[in-house]
Structure 1
Amino acid sequence: MAVVALLVGGGLGYALHPELNPSDKITVPPAFYKVIGTYNSIKANYYKPISSTKLANGAINGMMESLDDKFSTYLQNEDKKNLDDTMSASFGGIGATIEQNGTKLTVQSVQPTSPAKKAGLRAGDQLIAVNGKSVEKKSVTEAVAKIRGKIGTSVKVTIRRDSSDQTVTMTRARITQATVTSALNQTDKSVGVITVATFSEPTAGQFENAVKKLRKEGAKKFVVDLRGNGGGELNTALKMASMGLKNGKTIVKVQDRAGKTQVYKAGKGYDEGFKITEPIAVLIDGDSASASEILAAAWNQSAGVPLIGSQSYGKGTVQNVAQLGDNAEVKLTIAKWLTPNGSWINHKGLTPTIKADYPAWAKIAGFATANMKLGDESTDVKSLQTSLAALGYDVGTVNGYFGPTVQTAVQKFQQDNGLPVTGQTNDATLTKLITLLSAKLQNDDTAMVAAVKQLDK
């Protein structure tokens, strides 16, 4: 049995309270006599045989639900595997990143030496089928779930390239996810931008490597982008926070139900002597939670690092994961954490030093429908209107209705970009639209612009 300390559902950490091990022998309280009596009654008298495992799982689920805590859950089989994969930032797969491009699923990138690379997959290939079953109408998440599987097993993937379909068979290998990406800011090459997607086992090492790489490229200051980062491993957050703080500075305080508080402070035990001495700015938004908030609050309150963006999520609790054999585990809230100044941000979040947010059009995830025409009315049409308006086209009122004004805007867009002028959308039109919006975001990311400006002071 193992117990792991969590900050959010998708992360992991090290045991804060190993006494929570579910294998410990405890006395059954009288209140549970009714549970045992009910179990015995069902097993003896129910009109058809029923599995003891099913009854036990139902009892555990009922107990977890009675806590009314969405972060305390009972995970079995695939749900447990998904959490474990997230905890380790590794899984059985082929090493190809899939993205939604208009209404198509396409290969965004291929990892070197991966099964996908060896099989000849390339960026831009359209994903058609997995193991002979079409995924053309599936979401990215659904398609990826079909590609992933047990390490050493085979998977057949059909891709379309230059109007020709081909199927390749690959053996799934252990794939380690890149949880950190980095690049120099396009408008100010002295600023290194580090985007942290989650706090998993390899994240702290990837973060350190990103800092070193950007330093070699000329970075003199850093923007750490935590937007959309739901958190993860406590120990990873401690390591990364320590890198940006002087030794002895408080990172976080963890308080158990008895009110006993453990204070975590920066030091070589966490960062192994690696420090970021350059100026830092941190980007946060409403999806920055838990471990992200620990890092942001630590740097802000213990080092004066500015927070830029919008109010963070506000998750101030810590979870432990207790393994229940190979196929099940319990994730249970066991403590709350406080910022260095003693604040509990649960359901409140962190308030940014400078408020700035993504424009509305940047939050459009994609389109479920490729073909939109005059008279259609849907959320996709509303997204189309928002996107075209962001690029300077007149769409009238953004109301989700494909009227004559929208048709004219689509025709003008198609004409401006060398596409067949039909006044209706298709894959090519939406792909070009998303490409232009992605490029536009590089210049219109107001939070990033504000961060760079702050660092240049």
Structure 2
Amino acid sequence: MFLKGRNLVVFIAFLLLGMFASSILTLTIVQPSSLAERGQANPPDGASGLSAAEWNKLSTTFKLIQDNYVSEVDKSKLIDGAVNGMLGALDDPYTTYMDPKEASQFQDVLNSSFQGIGAEVSLEEGRVKVVSPIKGSPAEKAGILANDIILAVNGEKLDGLTLTEAVAKIRGPKGSQAKLQINRPGMDTIEVIVVRDDIPVETVYSEMLEGQVGKIEIREFVQHTAQKFKEALKQLEDQGMKGLVIDVRNNPGGLFPAVIEMSEPFLASGKTIVQVEDRNGEKQATVSKGTGKKYPVAVLINNGSASASEIMAGALQEMGGAKLVGEKTYGKGTVQITFDKEFGDGSNIKMTIMKWLTPNGNWIHKKGIAPDIPVEQPAYFKVAPLSKKTTLKQDMAGDDVKNLQIMLEGIGQTPGRTDGYFNDKTVIAVKAFQRLNNLPVTGEVDEKTAQKLEETVAKEIRSAKNDLQLKAAVQYIQSSAGK
């Protein structure tokens, strides 16, 4: 999370591919001092926290570069590099610097919709790691998964770039392609093509399922989400809802005031929603003013549920009696604050200053929150897209063939095996698929067959009848409501 300027609002910080805004958390803290506010461009010894020798080392390095480097160097580039170097030494993926242009772009996105691929990333150990693809986004549709490592974009490697520089490479206008080179745990490097688009801004989707079980899906916690959630909840309750499923899978976070407002109805007054802890171990709790609910609640989570999603899940689990269903969450439990006035030029620093803890004091950072009811989705939900670099044929072997077989099995065909060897039964399964989809019946998987197969798999993934986690949550609600 990070604190935006002087508004004393803490954000659960991540950058979305396409420069989408971070998640927000409220917190009252002591406002930091500012050299810029004191008007000291060149602070005297001690005023900056540096000794005269340390200050001299920095300024001497700057002058040596200016006077002696083989080519002229932009002064602002040197200053930005020095700032990035100091922050990089902290080895913290959530402490970052934005130059004036990057900060302005980021603020624009905070206040409007955006175009991009629609995924949230962090920089960990120098690599761009996907936190979560946004539901309904091009990234999700293309098969991008949480924990994917993006190595390159359109042939340009991301090694050595800051997070904002990497994001700038990935984002782009609607309709343009981003060819992402992806490293996925347990697999060879794969290439995923994502067509950039407008990222959906609607964040709340609700429906009444069979048995009077309500379902509200929250895709992000942004400005109007709390009001939309409140309206959806009332509509479901007015229809005689017997229990509620809240879906925050692949939800990267959002405005914390919204999380507080949305969590409060499920927690009795006086119960803790979240705690924050500073460097001295001092803790501060945000307490509910709600009333609690008499009907059962289940929260759907997975490893793309991060930040504000984890706060809601933890609060409802520990203080609201809700059951968490699905997979372990992402695990992001630090608080950032943005210093956007100190430099006076529009640039800013987002720095980790606190931890956030669940109501019971659990720090979930890098650990996540485990579900009460663990449920894995079918294998084809997480299969990698086919590379389409070559036509797949009988007797070939490798990850592409393995993924092909998992896809075929997922849509009801019988490839005979899923170990990556293209056998005769796989040929029969491919022919059956081609026949059903009016494709040339060759038993080989060329680009056209691969594309159609991926589209079919994506459709199956979006179908509620195949969602094992949702089924488990509904089953829990129905059994609990009947008691």
Unaligned runs of 5+ in 1: 105-129, 149-174
| CA shift for structure 1 position 246 | 1.8
Pair 1:341-2:360 in alignment: yes
Cα distance per residue 1:71-90 (max 9 Å; x no partner): 11113467546644664462
Match of 1:232 in 2: 254
Task: State yes or no: 1:361 paired with 2:380.
Answer: yes
Distance 2:174 2:351 in 1: 40
Indicate how the Cα distance of structure 1 residues 429 and 290 shifts in structure 2: closer, same or farther if over 3 A, else same: closer
How far did 1:390 drift? 2.0
Please tell me the root mean square deviation across aligned C-alpha atoms, in Å.
Answer: 3.6
The residue type paired with residue 58 of structure 1 is G
Q: 1:391 aligns with which of 376, 387, 411?
A: 411
| Residue type of the alignment partner of 1:373 | L
Instruction: Name whichever of 234-243 and 418-427 sits farther off.
Output: 418-427
Say whether the 8 Å CA contact 2:23–2:308 is kept in structure 1. Answer: no
**Residue 180 of structure 1: aligned partner:** 204
- Paired residue secondary structure (1:393): coil
**Are 2:75 and 1:52 equivalent residues in the alignment?**
yes
For these two proteins, the number of residue pairs brought into alignment is 394
| Residue pair 1:89, 1:201 contacting (<8 A) in 2 also | no
Q: Matched residues in 1 for 2:362 and 2:473: separation?
A: 25
Q: TM-score, normalised by structure 1?
A: 0.74
- Aligned residue runs from structure 1 range 141-160, under 5 A: 143-144=195-196
Deviation of 1:302 (Å)? 1.0
Partner of residue 170, structure 1: none
Residue-by-residue CA offset, 1:191-224 (whole Å, 9 max, x unaligned)? 1222222222232223223323434555332111
Q: Residue type of the partner of 1:347?
A: K
Q: Does 1:286 align with 2:298?
A: no
Provide the residue aligned with 1:320 in structure 2: 337
Identity %: 33
Question: CA separation of 1:219/1:414 partners in 2, compared to 1, >3 Å: closer, same or farther?
Answer: farther
Query: What pairs with 1:24-423 in structure 2 (closer than 5 Å)?
Result: 24-25=37-38, 27-28=47-48, 29-30=50-51, 31-76=54-99, 80=103, 83-84=106-107, 87-88=110-111, 90-91=113-114, 99=138, 135=177, 143-144=195-196, 177-185=201-209, 188-215=210-237, 219-267=241-289, 278-323=295-340, 328-364=347-383, 366-369=385-388, 372-374=391-393, 377=397, 379-423=399-443
Partner AA of 1:40 in structure 2: K
Match in the other structure for 2:122: none
- Paired residue for 2:10? 5
Structure 1: how far apart are the matches of 2:367 and 2:173? 46
Aligned equivalents of 1:134, 1:310: Cα separation in 2:
33
- Distance in 2 (CA, whole Å) between partners of 1:430 and 1:142 is 13
What CA distance in whole angstroms lies between the structure 2 residues aligned with 1:343 and 1:397?
Answer: 43
Question: Is the 1:317–1:346 contact (alpha carbons within 8 Å) kept by the matching residues of 2?
Answer: yes
In the alignment, the residues of structure 2 paired with residue 227 and residue 136 of structure 1 have an alpha-carbon distance, to the nearest angstrom, of 24
Scaled by the length of structure 2, the TM-score of the pair is 0.71
Q: Can you list the C-alpha shifts for 1:144-179, whole angstroms capped at 9, x where unaligned?
A: 2xx66xxxxxxxxxxxxxxxxxxxxxxxxxx87112
Counterpart residue type for residue 331 of structure 1: K
